[in-house]
Structure 1
Amino acid sequence: MNSNRPGVLILSHCGFSFLEDLKEQLQRRQLRCFVLTSLPLAEHVPARLEQIQVWADRLYTADSHQLKLEDVNNALQTLHKSGEQVTCCISVWEGYRHLMAAANAALGTYDIDAQQALALRNKLNVRNQLADAGLSQARAHALTAPVLQTLQAQSARYFIKPIHGIASYAAFPLREDTTWKALETLRLASVEDTVYASAFNDGLQFMAEDYIAGQEFSFETLLIDGQAHVVAIHEKYEVTETADTVLEDSCTTPPASLDQAQIAAGLQWLEKVLTCMALRWGCYHIEARFTGQHWDLIEINPRVGGSLISHSVEAVTHGHSMLSLWLDLLLASQDDHAPRDALAQQLNAFQWQADGISAQSVATFFRVYFAQPGTLSSVALNELPLAPTVKHILLKAGDVIPAHAREVFLGQLLWAFDRSRQAEELERLAHLSATALDIRYEPGTP
């Protein structure tokens, strides 16, 4: 039996993708929860599906590890025939962003176009489009063996990444010892990565772009009728570039190394980027670097940021997580302008203003812990003089971590504190958090 309450369709990848967080947001709004998930990995069947079945009002499972448009259309048709009212569709898995957009178009909910979602994921085209518009000082080249050889013969610095990528998978600076054979090895390995393989379109293809030096930041942005509302700016406080990927170890907001004028310049540049890409609607996690002289793009993600970005936004806005705000935007995205105007007015109270200031009184710091290949024997939170506000331990004893060219999240911790104490707290937490988790591996783990 269904009810008269409307609901939201969540597109889940392999049974996860912030499902519990989204469920909580829907329950808070007294909305029904409809889940369409791709097939979970073998080690999560049937347990994960049974977990979701307990709280989802409707659960549909595809027969493969990757959702297709046909799966989404079938779910919508089944829900409609069952008498369910679907208000909108949401997915935090970037590989399904175009499917979410297509579903919202069918439901009459404002969203970006499905083709726009796909176009944003082509990092080669986005880079060169912005370069043509004078908004990026870097250019990108599709990599082949001869192109790789040509670039290595030059004195300039380059950065290699997949044209369609996700989670810093196989993204790293070009080195003298980088070989085409090594890239082919990464490409072949990506095919075997069941969870991430779908994010690479028709297989991993590499590009090389001019290296962008400087500190990295992200703008957590909501677009309403073409008006950008930046609700948080995160600084990637510690970043590690390894041989095969880039690890974003810790983040803080507000940005610690920028002054008001530099933030204002970043916001102005961001507005131009959004206009250039013809974006007028949606939720975005936009990564950029400030070189000391100018701002330049890393990538535009048409979704909430990963890790604890959403929780960090919740702390600095006193209760409005990025997931919650995105859901509010989707629910306000009907023909009536009143809900959209009300949301824009709400965001104005805590967003970053064009002059580079915000009224936010809370700062955050969070650290992500990455697993190394091997078998975990134990993971525990050490006793700390300052307890974290948010604690997520994602792996457990006995879990086996394969060797992939991407990060494997083990856990994450977030601290919130008064913005006036940010400088001293950052120095303290950067040291304290490094050993906050006691992580141990079985003998034989490298």
Structure 2
Amino acid sequence: MNSNRPGVLILSHCGFSFLEDLKEELHRRQLRCFVLSSLPLPEHVPSRLEQIQTWTDRLYTTDSHQLRLEDVQNALQTLRKSGEQVTCCISVWEGYRHLMAAANASLGTYDIDAGQALALRNKLNVRNRLAEAGLSQANAHALTAPVLELLKAQDQRYFIKPIHGIASYAAFPMREDTTWNALEALRLASAEDTVYASAFNDGLAFMAENYIPGHEFSFETLLVDGQVHVVAIHEKYEVTETAETVLEDSCTTPPVSLDQAQIVAGLHWLENVLGCMELKWGCYHVEARFTGEHWDLIEINPRVGGSLISHSVEAVTLGHSMLSLWLDLLLASQDDAQPRKELVQRLAQYGWRADGTSAQSVATFFRVYFAKPGTLSSVTLNELPLAPVVKHILLKAGDVIPAHAREVFLGQLLWTFERASQASELKHLASISATALDIRYQAQSH
């Protein structure tokens, strides 16, 4: 028997995608929780679905590892027939962002449209559109074997990435020894990667763009009726570029290497970028680099940032995670203007202002730990002088890590401290966090 309480439809990829976090947010708001998930990987069947079934109000699954538009339409129809009231749809899996947008359009909830969601995922078109508008100094080229040879012959640095990518999968600086065969091998491997394959739009196609130097940052952004609200600015404190990917090891907010004028320039540039892409609604994790002279785009993700970005936002806003704020925006995006007004007032209170200042008194630092190929024998958190406030250990003894061209998250830890002491705390935390997790692997038997 369903109650008259409205609910939210969550689109889950293979049984995951921040499901537990979203469930908590819905429970807090006394909303019903509906989940539509694509089929989990064989190692998670049936256990993961049984787990979700225990706390969801309604669970629908498909027999494919990838959700399609008709799956979403069928779920919405079934919910309606069952007398359920669906307020909005949310998904943190980027490959489903256009499906979420289509669902919200049919529910009468303001969001970007499905076409915009798909357009944002085409990194080649986004880059060249911004370059034409004078908002990016980099140009992008679709890669073929001859184009690769042509670019390698030039005296310039380039960065290679999938045209439709996800996370930092197969994204790396072009080198003299980068060959078309190596790219082909990555393309073939990607087709075998069940979890990520769907995000590549029918197989990996590569592009090369001018390399953008400088420190990397991300703007955690909410757009309400064309108004830009930046809730946090994260600086990627340590980044490792490997042969096949870029690993973001640690992040901090507020940014430490920018002065007020550079933040003002960044906020102004961001508004122009979002305006150029004709975006008016939604939640965005916009990654950018500051070269020392100008701001330039890495990518626009139409969703919350991954890893501990949402938790970091919760710490600096004293209780409002990015996920929570995105839900608030969706729930306020019906035709009643009052909830939107209230949300805008709240965002103005703890977000960044046009003059490059914010009222935030808390700073955060978080580190992500990546697994190496092999079999884990143990993962333990060491005793530390300053304990982390968020601890996620994602793998356990006995887990086998395959060799992939993408990062495999092992765990993540987040610390908070007074913003006033950020400079000294960072040095200390960067050092102690590097060995905070004791990670051991089983010896290889030959």
- TM-score normalised over the length of structure 2: 0.99
- Using the alignment, how far apart are the partners of 1:214 and 1:62 within structure 2? 44
- Using the alignment, how far apart are the partners of 1:58 and 1:421 within structure 2? 47
- The DSSP-based 3-state class of the residue aligned with 1:250 is strand
Question: 1:410-425, aligned counterparts within 5 Å?
Answer: 410-425=410-425
Question: 1:261-340, aligned counterparts within 5 Å?
Answer: 261-340=261-340
CA positional deviation for 1:373: 0.8
| 1:375–1:445 Cα contact (<8 Å) kept | no
Q: Deviations over 1:127-173 (max 9, x none)?
A: 00000000000000000000000010111000000000001000000
- Using the alignment, how far apart are the partners of 1:194 and 1:385 within structure 2? 41
Which residue of the partner structure matches residue 209 of structure 2? 209
Which residue of the partner structure matches residue 200 of structure 1? 200
- Using the alignment, how far apart are the partners of 2:142 and 2:371 within structure 1? 31
CA positional deviation for 1:338: 1.1
Which residue of the partner structure matches residue 103 of structure 2? 103
- Using the alignment, how far apart are the partners of 1:276 and 1:349 within structure 2? 26
| 1:365–1:426 Cα contact (<8 Å) kept | yes
Q: Deviations over 1:260-312 (max 9, x none)?
A: 00000000000000110000100000000000000000000000000000000
| 1:250–1:365 Cα contact (<8 Å) kept | yes
- Using the alignment, how far apart are the partners of 1:380 and 1:96 within structure 2? 34
CA positional deviation for 1:202: 1.1
- Using the alignment, how far apart are the partners of 1:285 and 1:338 within structure 2? 26
CA positional deviation for 1:444: 1.9
Which residue of the partner structure matches residue 433 of structure 1? 433
Q: What letter matches 1:40 in structure 2? A: P
- Using the alignment, how far apart are the partners of 1:37 and 1:146 within structure 2? 41
Which residue of the partner structure matches residue 246 of structure 1? 246
- Using the alignment, how far apart are the partners of 2:314 and 2:336 within structure 1? 27
Question: 1:141-290, aligned counterparts within 5 Å?
Answer: 141-290=141-290
Q: What letter matches 2:378 in structure 1? A: S
Which residue of the partner structure matches residue 398 of structure 2? 398
| 1:374–1:445 Cα contact (<8 Å) kept | no
Q: Tell me, yes or no, if structure 1 residue 9 matches structure 2 residue 2.
A: no
Cα RMSD after superposing both structures: 0.8
- The DSSP-based 3-state class of the residue aligned with 2:195 is coil
- Using the alignment, how far apart are the partners of 2:217 and 2:60 within structure 1? 37
| 1:12–1:38 Cα contact (<8 Å) kept | yes
- Using the alignment, how far apart are the partners of 1:139 and 1:373 within structure 2? 35
- Using the alignment, how far apart are the partners of 1:268 and 1:242 within structure 2? 32
- Using the alignment, how far apart are the partners of 1:148 and 1:445 within structure 2? 41
- Using the alignment, how far apart are the partners of 1:270 and 1:253 within structure 2? 17
Question: 1:81-96, aligned counterparts within 5 Å?
Answer: 81-96=81-96
| 1:217–1:289 Cα contact (<8 Å) kept | yes
Question: 1:52-63, aligned counterparts within 5 Å?
Answer: 52-63=52-63
- Using the alignment, how far apart are the partners of 1:398 and 1:204 within structure 2? 31
- Using the alignment, how far apart are the partners of 2:445 and 2:54 within structure 1? 37
CA gap 1:6/1:445 in 2 versus in 1, 3 angstroms: farther
- Using the alignment, how far apart are the partners of 1:243 and 1:38 within structure 2? 32
- Any unmatched runs of 5+ in structure 1? none
Which residue of the partner structure matches residue 362 of structure 1? 362
- The DSSP-based 3-state class of the residue aligned with 2:79 is helix
- TM-score normalised over the length of structure 1: 0.99
- Using the alignment, how far apart are the partners of 1:104 and 1:49 within structure 2? 25
Q: Deviations over 1:362-405 (max 9, x none)?
A: 00000000001111111110111110000000001111111111
- Using the alignment, how far apart are the partners of 2:162 and 2:299 within structure 1? 12
- Using the alignment, how far apart are the partners of 2:180 and 2:400 within structure 1? 29
Which residue of the partner structure matches residue 72 of structure 2? 72
Q: What letter matches 1:276 in structure 2? A: C
- The DSSP-based 3-state class of the residue aligned with 1:52 is helix
Which residue of the partner structure matches residue 388 of structure 1? 388
| 1:142–1:207 Cα contact (<8 Å) kept | yes
| 1:381–1:437 Cα contact (<8 Å) kept | yes
- Using the alignment, how far apart are the partners of 2:72 and 2:95 within structure 1? 14
- Using the alignment, how far apart are the partners of 1:445 and 1:336 within structure 2? 65
- The DSSP-based 3-state class of the residue aligned with 1:195 is helix
- Using the alignment, how far apart are the partners of 2:399 and 2:199 within structure 1? 24
- The DSSP-based 3-state class of the residue aligned with 1:443 is coil
Q: Tell me, yes or no, if structure 1 residue 132 matches structure 2 residue 132.
A: yes
- Using the alignment, how far apart are the partners of 1:445 and 1:249 within structure 2? 30
CA positional deviation for 1:445: 8.9
Q: What letter matches 1:394 in structure 2? A: L
- Using the alignment, how far apart are the partners of 2:338 and 2:272 within structure 1? 27
Q: What letter matches 1:168 in structure 2? A: S
- Percent of pairs identical after alignment? 84
Q: What letter matches 2:171 in structure 1? A: A
| 1:11–1:96 Cα contact (<8 Å) kept | yes
- Using the alignment, how far apart are the partners of 1:336 and 1:76 within structure 2? 23
Query: Aligned residues, how many?
Result: 446
| 1:373–1:445 Cα contact (<8 Å) kept | no
| 1:222–1:282 Cα contact (<8 Å) kept | yes
